[in-house]
Amino acid sequence: MLGTFIGGIFLLLGAGAAAFAFINPPDPLAEVQFQTTTVYYAGAEPGQPGEVMGTFAEQKREIVDYATLPEYVGQAVAAGEDKTFFTNRGVSITGMVRAFINNVQGKPTQGGSTLTQQYVERYYQNTTKDYWGKAKEAILAIKLSQKEDKAQIMGRYLNTIYFGRDSYGIEAASKSYFGKPAAEMTVSEAALMAALIPSPNNWDPAVSPEKSQQRWGIVLDSMVDSGWLSASDRAAQVFPTTIEYVKSEAYRGPNGFLLEMVEKELLATNLWTSGELRTKGLKIITTIDQSVQQAAVESAEALRTGGLSDGEAPSERLRVSVVSVDPTTGGIVSLYGGPDYLTDQKNTATFDEIQAGSTFKPFTLVAGLQDGIGLSTTFDGNSPQRFPEWEGGTKDVSNFGNKDYGQIDLVKATADSVNTVYAALNIEVGPERSAQVATEAGITTPLNTVPSNVLGADDVRPLDMAGAYATFAAQGVQRTPHVLQVVENNDGTVAWQPDTAGRSVFAADVMADATYAMTQVVEQGSGKAEISKLKRPIAGKTGTSTDNKSAWFVGYVPQLATAVALSQQSEDGRGKDSIQAWGKYSQITGSSYPAVLWSDYMRKVFENPRFSAVQEFPPRANVGGRPTSTATPTEEPTEEPTPEEPQQPAQVQVPGGLTGRTEADATGALQGAGLVASIRSEVSTAVPAVAAGRVIRVEPGEGSTVDAGATVTLVVSSGAPPQPTTPAPQPTQPVPTQPAPEAPPADAAAGAAVPGTRP
């Protein structure tokens, strides 16, 4: 019996030795590296973050270097969890034996684990409860103590464990409890963090202040016992005040639509998965200007609740959209897609497709200008009229209120939104050309190519309309609207940026004339009553669909294009009803509440220093000359338009801050100021050399006063000059060369037509 007993002991010792030899630390659990991705508003400078907009997280965690934390943070945790941590070898034999005896006797379960054993459990292998699991945990703790130093173990432990308030790791916890980084915690605050570890949800001061303070006192006393805190300093400690915890509802309110757009746009790059978005700790800087976004939300909510109509509120089924786009980059500066994403996930700016109404007419105007049909061309503006090409001549085309205008030019027809004139213009240029212009400007929904498309029967999205009018504001350079400005990895390196260079789709002189006609909408036409109150150059267009099922005002200044759209959802949620009138308007047209909302919102935007400068549009270019004949002949002779006085070109300043920017950014800034960029490359002789693709200097210089529409030369670096090399030996005999054949001109070879001329 004795021999069997002794043999059993040796077998156990041998098994233990074998286990120690063969058990090695596994790879860390994947989730210990999970970090929160943070989304920011745009900062004051390009590429710089503003305030936090929201977060994406599987586990809310921000990993910090232990060396950046005050020494007392680790000491407080050791005082609360394992006073011998900094001197033991990873396990406590006495603690394990005491816990084992206590458990065998049926008393309340005890752990007996050192801090290192807790680290093994949470960093490498998840929860372990059986005896074999605890034995394996102890072996790994011993081995890791030999392999990793105490600072590394404590740092990983602090970055891993759960502290309550949905916070993993000391950094996220400090922000959740105290509203500041862990590096700024006081001794008292560090002691509270340590006190929470055994039961964070139950011992949160907001849940159980008495238990929390009791545990806090125990940790401080233990720090005194361990020599990490003097008795006098202990006596001076005051229980810390914590901030109110609001459970995260990242998608609550209007910002939920923005975060959804951020997620969709990020995933569309195909660089990250949805899971990686929530675990990689990315830093996402958006194009959204926080103050402009707040103005959009305030004005839209004021419309919905009656604040813009003397207290009378519209139907609860009214759908409101406000969206602004920066013409120089395509960045979405603000977007109101609804009051609360959690109650309705259909973004009114990106999901809703509603009839464009007369906001579609500028696309036909551009098509006409491209074909040489100038603004002074006159048409028959009487109402009603019939055209053979319009439903076989069987249906009247009528103006709003069936008003007659007589012979008018395209400026007057645009200002007063004369349907009969635009019907005739669309027939002349071809409805497929109007659809083509709309698509080139930025409309992404399918468009019909029938004559009636000029009156806006096609469904479009408000974001697309803002982007299309931004193309006009950018002098014909189309840029795709986007919400991501820059995405950084968690180490601060740039992972992705959008291409904001854009592509030129319309000639600058065509844009100048289209813009001029659209300024008359504000100065003398359907937008005058509300928009002219802003007292600055604004181009835009009202729009109302048949039966008032949609109402728009879309307008722009050189720095910003904004679309406001209203529609009303049917009771079953499957269609559109006519918008119920309310307040002072008997029917809802583009010149009513859409213009009211646009004006109220943009008034606040113009108070923002970024958009406060009054910029002039390029002067009217008079594309196509000044024809004397009418485009739709009538029996009545027409008077030749009275020649206008020549306009003095407006003066503008060359923007500052162009030197050092990328070619695309500097070009966009010039376009936004109504100037034309000319690019010239030059070797950079500066030390250090200016990086290739960035502006070395501007001619004429930044701040110079020039005519609107003038050409400004951007001298762009082609890189540093080449280093001198030893010349290769020259051949003693001349080597004859064969001249390369001259390529024929591309236009001649292709038989290309010259764009912008009338057939």
- Tell me how far apart the alpha carbons of residues 714 and 101 are, in angstroms, rounded to a whole number: 82
- Tell me how far apart the alpha carbons of residues 436 and 743 are, in angstroms, rounded to a whole number: 32
Which residue is listed with tokens 């130093």?
Answer: 149
| CA torsion through residues 700, 702, 708, 709, sign | positive
- Tell me how far apart the alpha carbons of residues 375 and 359 are, in angstroms, rounded to a whole number: 18
- Which DSSP symbol is given to 350? T
One-letter amino acid for residue 302 of the chain: A
Phi and psi, residue 121, nearest 5°: -60, -40
- Reduce the DSSP state of residue 341 to 3 states and report it: coil
- Tell me how far apart the alpha carbons of residues 719 and 566 are, in angstroms, rounded to a whole number: 51
b/e sequence 516-541, b meaning 16+ C-beta within 10 Å: bbbbbbbeebbbbebbbebeebbbbb
Tokens describing residue 477: 């350079």
81 among known catalytic residues: yes
Cβ 357 vs Cβ 554: under 8 Å:
no
Q: Which helix (H) or strand (E) holds 3?
A: helix 2-22
Torsion of Cα atoms, 43 then 46 then 48 then 49, to 10° = 40
Cβ 94 vs Cβ 110: under 8 Å:
no
Q: Name the active-site residue from 113, 309, 334, 358.
A: 358
Tokens describing residue 44: 């004051």
Cβ 192 vs Cβ 241: under 8 Å:
no
By the 10 Å C-beta count (0-12 exposed, 13-18 middle, 19+ buried), 271 is classed as exposed
Torsion of Cα atoms, 443 then 445 then 446 then 452, to 10° = -60
Q: What angle do CA 280, 285, 287 make, to 5 degrees?
A: 145
Q: Whose CA is closest to 606, among 557, 676, 551?
A: 557
Strand partners, 554: 541, 563
Q: What angle do CA 526, 452, 525 make, to 5 degrees?
A: 10
334 among known catalytic residues: no
Cβ 350 vs Cβ 260: under 8 Å:
no
Cβ 399 vs Cβ 605: under 8 Å:
no
Q: Which helix (H) or strand (E) holds 485?
A: strand 484-488
Q: Name the active-site residue from 81, 189, 263, 428.
A: 81
Active site members: 81, 358
